Structure 1
Amino acid sequence: MFEHDPTDPHEVGLNADRLAAVPAFFAENYLDTGKLPCMATLISRNGEIALEDYRGTTEFSGSTPIGPETIFRIYSMTKPITSLAAMMLFEEGKLRLDHDVARYIPEFADVEVFDSGSREDYKTRKPDRPMKVLDLFTHTSGLTYGFMMQSEVDALYRKEKIGRPDETLQEMAKRLAKLPLECSPGDEWWYSHSTDVLGAIVEIVSGMELDQFFRERITGPLGMDDTDFWVPEDKIDRLMACYERHPITGEVTQSDGAGRASKAYSKRPKLLNGGGGLVSTVRDYHRFCLMLLRGGTLDDARIISPKTWEFMRQNHLPGGQTIRDMGRSLFSEVITGGTGFGLGGSVVTDVVDTQQPGSEGTFSWGGLASTFFWIDPEEEIIGIQMTQLMPSSTYPMRPQFQQLAYSAIDW
């Protein structure tokens, strides 16, 4: 869904030449050099699209160009949507941030913290306090991800095959509760399955599976018709391929095929991954961001209140710390300096410490296959970038995107 063609950049205080330099930079440095198969770019200001650009193809050496209809795996850009779903239930009084997670998933009442040993033989201790719902929003729950390759706990996740496709979201959450935590809740920031557990709570509290909740309460009302956990038959040809770059050899291989060659998205999955399972388009995700920028409303749809959105984009890390201050995780989707964490995404707390232009209160996050968004309420700017290369830390595309975009501001 797209109401009109991009507006004249000058009408929203942006320099047309500098704005045009944004996609040109990525074409010259990433597409022409063979590092990426494509790049989609969207920048809006004051709710008006000033730049929408699609370059490259759906596969390396392919002939099908990407465009507004191209469907991307957005992975962790699912997290803000799941977090929003939980805050909608919060607004209805059906959950609180200070509630114990065990109130909704009793298995978490007995969760312990890894103390010593190896994944084969280890000792645990009791946490200093129970895991709270807030900890799930902010990744301070003590949970982690198996792909970290950083600790004995993430090795246990791999051993136990956390995230396997033959179980439901609630089943996965219950299995997570049987494994030790990296730390006591609230002590450290670990990028993690926290949002998956939050998604399980959304299902439990609402009585709906997560995809149904999204369609009925968020993506449906917002007209995000191409955003879901799978791609139906009549749209599957629009799904582009996904690639992965080996961290040592640098070799790039295809991790999932385009269209009907996709092994992961051609049918509804059993595991509705609330932390990273959605696919979407640039235009769909812009509607989500625009709803937030406008205080929870888009067209005739009221999703949340403006005060709830304002609350979500505050830094909720303990004592006003940044991700860098309390982060033990080696992986983050954003710069960790000068950046705290809100309810579902990162929040800029100190522009100077981020080492690039921007605004305090900017809310952002990205996905594993190099998708990214940010919402700057002060400048009323939304930026969205999509391609399909894992991991997202391969190239410094996100800070480059932002520094180029902010250089286009005239007034």
Structure 2
Amino acid sequence: MATGFDQSRLDRIGTWMDRYVAERKYAGSSVLIQRGGEEVYFNATGKRSVEQDLPFERDTVARIYSMTKPITSVAIMMLAERGLFHLDAPVSNFIPAFKDMQALVPNADRIDQVEPSQAPTLHQLLTHTSGLSYPFNPGVLAREMDEQDILFKPNQGSLAAMADRVATLPLAFQPGTRWEYSVSTDILGRVVEVVSGRSLAEFFAEEIFAPLGMTETAFSVSQKQFPRFSSLYTPLAGDAMALNEASSGGDTLRMVDKPGSSPFEHADMYSGGGGLIGTIDDYMKFVEMLRRGGTFDGGRLLSPETLRFMMRNHLPGDIASMGPQSFAEQPMEGMGFGLGGAVVLDPARARCPGHVGDFSWGGMASTFFWMDPVADMSVVFFTQLSPSSSYPSRAELKALVHGALIV
């Protein structure tokens, strides 16, 4: 028994991971668990490249996509702690293109059916209640974003220009009235640039990655990382991100991005919503910073009070009560949303073992983390399969971990 875990039950995690590989659901994956700052479990299995027969290892470099969002949210709160703005400030204070906004009227079926709207606030952007959307969501705005290819991809140019393009479209709804997963955090990344006077890549590197010792996390794959960079797979026949047109293909592991031709090797877009690559140990340093109240290895990013504030539920109820119409990779009942991640309000309603206050988020390539303040535990899961809604691996992993936790 290690730190309150039953070792034989922890070993079930490896069996589960191997089964996903054997069934060609995931090419490879890794899991890292720490409790009280002590490592209690690590396992890696399968391949980072099926075609080249290269193993998925501890130092494999992966696309973390939306697990970038909590990092951008921390950056915003670091600037807020310096008194540079208040969270109720409208985003138009920082990005003038968001002045004179419009929103779609209720039940609109055309992009030109609009009414005047306030600009979203920073708080509404942090909580995905801004009225923005994603191209892979259902709805009128999402379809227009899809047609205009507004997704903040690594090779789509400057963050400033893309943020201004988002501002030319109407909001999907009046800010604050609904919850919809969106490019809100990309817009916040641009706010970080405007307020700090630095690119998002520079701010992350200097203010977050350096203090935490996250030497393997960036927007572009470095030369030294290139041999360890994983391929990305999808079970879909079409675009791995085009969820509105998703159809199953004959191959459950169809490669869609690989070393040598990946836009992540020379990113010119610094996407605060989904642009980072990194290793599992690097991301664990970030999660441990959350668990330890804003500090890791001597580097303090935030105060414990600010972290507690971020990891509270900032919605009136759970996500489900706010009429979400977005892409979902986990239940929204019993789940609230803080600043940059989901918060468990009721494990029973969320239909997954855990504790009230668990803070988590994942990425489109099926990566996932959660920080459990009750069990004093941090868990990070890495793999490379898009979309993340393909399999219920997150709920299964949570059940496995809590099934092994006996003290």
Q: Distance in 2 between the 1:381 and 1:77 partners?
A: 18
Task: Give the SS at the match of 2:397.
Answer: helix
Q: Distance in 2 between the 1:367 and 1:379 partners?
A: 24
CA contact (8 A) 1:226 1:284 kept: yes
Q: How far is 1:161 from its partner? A: 2.2
Which residue of structure 2 aligns with residue 133 of structure 1? 122
Which residue of structure 2 aligns with residue 35 of structure 1? 25
Q: Give the letter aligned to residue 316 of structure 1.
A: H
Q: Give the letter aligned to residue 4 of structure 2.
A: G
Q: Distance in 2 between the 1:346 and 1:359 partners?
A: 13
CA contact (8 A) 1:293 1:380 kept: yes
Q: Give the letter aligned to residue 273 of structure 1.
A: S
1:9-408 to structure 2, matched below 5 A, reads 10-28=1-19, 30-115=20-105, 118-119=109-110, 122-127=112-117, 129-148=118-137, 150-162=138-150, 163=152, 165-246=155-236, 247-251=246-250, 252=252, 253-257=254-258, 259=259, 261-267=260-266, 269-317=267-315, 319=316, 321-408=317-404
Q: Distance in 2 between the 1:198 and 1:271 partners?
A: 14
Q: How far is 1:410 from its partner? A: 1.5
Cα distance change of structure 1 residues 90 and 226 upon mapping to structure 2, 3 Å threshold:
same
Q: How far is 1:234 from its partner? A: 2.0
In structure 2, runs of 5+ residues without a counterpart are 237-245
Task: Give the SS at the match of 1:53.
Answer: strand
Q: Distance in 2 between the 1:73 and 1:278 partners?
A: 6
Q: Distance in 1 between the 2:248 and 2:402 partners?
A: 34
CA contact (8 A) 2:136 2:327 kept: no
Q: Give the letter aligned to residue 139 of structure 1.
A: H
Q: How far is 1:329 from its partner? A: 2.5
CA contact (8 A) 1:241 1:262 kept: no
Q: How far is 1:61 from its partner? A: 4.9
Which residue of structure 1 aligns with residue 239 of structure 2? none
Aligned residues: 393
Q: Distance in 1 between the 2:262 and 2:352 partners?
A: 39
Structure 1 window deviating more from structure 2 (151-160 vs 375-384): it is 151-160
Structure 1 window deviating more from structure 2 (15-24 vs 369-378): it is 15-24
Task: Give the SS at the match of 1:147.
Answer: coil
CA contact (8 A) 1:189 1:328 kept: yes
Q: How far is 1:117 from its partner? A: 5.6
Q: How far is 1:65 from its partner? A: 1.0
Task: Give the SS at the match of 1:68.
Answer: coil
Task: Give the SS at the match of 1:365.
Answer: strand
Q: Distance in 1 between the 2:14 and 2:375 partners?
A: 21
Deviations, residues 296-347 of structure 1 (Å, cap 9, x unaligned): 1111111110011000000011x2x111111422313432111010000000
Task: Give the SS at the match of 2:370.
Answer: strand
Q: Give the letter aligned to residue 310 of structure 2.
A: M
CA contact (8 A) 2:158 2:268 kept: yes
Deviations, residues 22-76 of structure 1 (Å, cap 9, x unaligned): 1211212x11112211110111111111111110111225421121210000000
Q: How far is 1:354 from its partner? A: 1.0
Q: Distance in 2 between the 1:203 and 1:333 partners?
A: 30
Q: Distance in 2 between the 1:139 and 1:169 partners?
A: 19
Q: How far is 1:130 from its partner? A: 3.7
Which residue of structure 1 aligns with residue 243 of structure 2? none
Q: How far is 1:118 from its partner? A: 4.9
Q: Give the letter aligned to residue 24 of structure 1.
A: T
Q: Distance in 1 between the 2:372 and 2:357 partners?
A: 7
Q: Distance in 1 between the 2:193 and 2:200 partners?
A: 6
Deviations, residues 326-384 of structure 1 (Å, cap 9, x unaligned): 14223134321110100000001112111121111110000001000000011011111
Q: Give the letter aligned to residue 401 of structure 2.
A: A
Q: Distance in 2 between the 1:327 and 1:46 partners?
A: 37
Deviations, residues 189-240 of structure 1 (Å, cap 9, x unaligned): 1100000001100000000100100010101111111100011112111101
CA contact (8 A) 2:17 2:45 kept: no
What TM-score do the two structures reach when normalised by structure 1? 0.93
In structure 1, runs of 5+ residues without a counterpart are 1-9
Q: Give the letter aligned to residue 372 of structure 2.
A: D
Cα distance change of structure 1 residues 125 and 407 upon mapping to structure 2, 3 Å threshold:
same
Q: Distance in 1 between the 2:222 and 2:290 partners?
A: 27
Task: Give the SS at the match of 1:390.
Answer: coil
Q: Give the letter aligned to residue 397 of structure 1.
A: S
Cα distance change of structure 1 residues 87 and 34 upon mapping to structure 2, 3 Å threshold:
same
Q: Distance in 1 between the 2:293 and 2:348 partners?
A: 27
- RMSD, aligned α-carbons: 1.4
